[in-house]
A = this chain, B = another copy of it.
Amino acid sequence: MINIAVLGYGTVGSGVVEVIEKNKEMVNKKSAQELNIKYILDLRDFPGDPYEEKVVHDFNLILSDDSVSIVCETMGGVGAAYQFTKQALEKGKSVCTSNKELVARHGPELLAIARDHSCNYLFEASVGGGIPIIRPLNYSLTAEKIEAITGILNGTTNYILSKMEKEGAGFEEVLKEAQENGYAERNPEADVEGYDACRKIAILSSLMMGRNVDSEKVYTEGITNITAADFAYAAAAGRSIKLLARSRAVSEDEVLAMVAPFMIGRDHPLAMVNDVFNAVFVTGNMLGDSMYYGRGAGKLPTASAVVSDVIDCARHQGRVIMCFWDQGNARLSDISSEERSFFIRGKSGEERTVESAFPEGRLIRIEGRAEDFGYFTPVMREKDFMEKCKALEDVVLGRIRLL
């Protein structure tokens, strides 16, 4: 029997308990032994909860109990979660987490501590919710040199963009609705500004590079400037708009990483990823393109990924599972030298201005839209594009990168 402690009895934590309970037989079979939830750490009490008696308030109780060998950190944040994770690993207890913020911030340090204490720090649930992506990168695509990763990594923004596309609605309106039905937080900044996707692409990029990619240095742009008009032009051009988190290995120790809205062709596999679904598109030097798709968030999908880590720990007690993520930092390329096409939404009457600033592009108009026009620039350097846009501040109403 393996004793487990769950830190944080919120959405994911209670999901972990539910998955282990509901799929008990399967989970124990796959673990090759019985998993027993011994403690649930939370500041609150849960009178009437079937696990009421397992709830404790003092982490030291868990830390000092040598019979606990696996800890699920489902608290979130980088304060207590960091301290508890570190202390648990130093005691040789494996930690499984859904906390992308902590993994992005302290991943390599915590992995090193785990290694030194012959236990494991696993974080399948930190990216893509229930989608298996960390393990495929670490265990499956091992014969590949991963060249690039492009993901739809945030369910809230994908839900908002899908809804804007389907209903022709504006950002604020859809955000409000998403907040009302629980698909967006009351403070939606981490999602809509792209910070959440940024942490996740930093984690994936670190695994791709084998070196640490500092999430705070990743260029990040959210979706707050995307309008219903942009979707109208995208549709007219046979495209969709998605918040993409992208990463490309430039050299052994240099990576280009960014988060921004992109207009993508409708025939791209990522274009069909709608609503709260997430997907990760991986390009390897032998396999070419592969994609991993599923529910990127939600109680049970996320909990399922945490429990798959628990099972992995159970089967590897005293053995370190391979994960290449060194503490040395990868260099981040300046995105301003990237080359691509851009979409511009311009102010009506200024077609000539835009055409002469970005010659040889493609102008599109939509019947009934008198106030603006659409324009696709030829392939150009990001730096040149931005400089020209700045000079045309009153003319360029909106701009979106093309994939």
Smallest beta-carbon distance A248→chain B, Å: 17
- Residue among A23, A130, A286, A310 with the most chain B CB within 10 A? A286
Tell me if B130 and A287 are in contact (CB < 8 A).
yes
Q: Which of B267, B269, B292, B311 touches A142 (beta carbons < 8 Å)?
A: B311
Interface size class of A (residues with CB under 8 A): 35 or more
Q: Is the CB–CB distance between A142 and B30 below 8 Å?
A: yes
From B295, B303, B307, A290 is in contact (CB under 8 Å) with B295
Asked whether B288 lies within 8 Å of A301 as measured between CB atoms, the reply is yes
With a cutoff of 8 Å between Cβ atoms, the chain B residues found around residue A30 in the complex are 142-143, 322, 324
What is the count of identical protomers in the complex? 2
CA distance A269 to B30 in the complex (A): 29
* Chain B residues with CB under 8 A of A322: 30, 32, 315
Q: List, in ascending order, chain B residues with CB within 8 A of A284's CB.
A: 304
Give CA–CA (A339, B29) in the complex, Å: 33
| B272-A308 in contact (CB<8A) | no
A228 close to chain B: CB less than 8 A:
no
Query: Given A135-B139, A140-B308, are A300 and B287 also a contact pair (CB < 8 Å)?
Result: yes
Q: Does A391 contact B (CB under 8 A)?
A: no
List 7 A-B pairs, minimum CB-CB distance, nearest first.
A290-B294, A132-B140, A143-B307, A130-B287, A286-B304, A291-B293, A30-B142
What are 25 A-B interface contacts by the 8 Å CB criterion? A19-B286, A23-B143, A23-B144, A23-B286, A26-B142, A26-B143, A26-B145, A27-B142, A124-B140, A132-B141, A132-B290, A142-B311, A143-B303, A143-B308, A269-B272, A286-B300, A288-B294, A288-B295, A289-B294, A289-B295, A290-B294, A291-B291, A291-B294, A292-B292, A315-B322
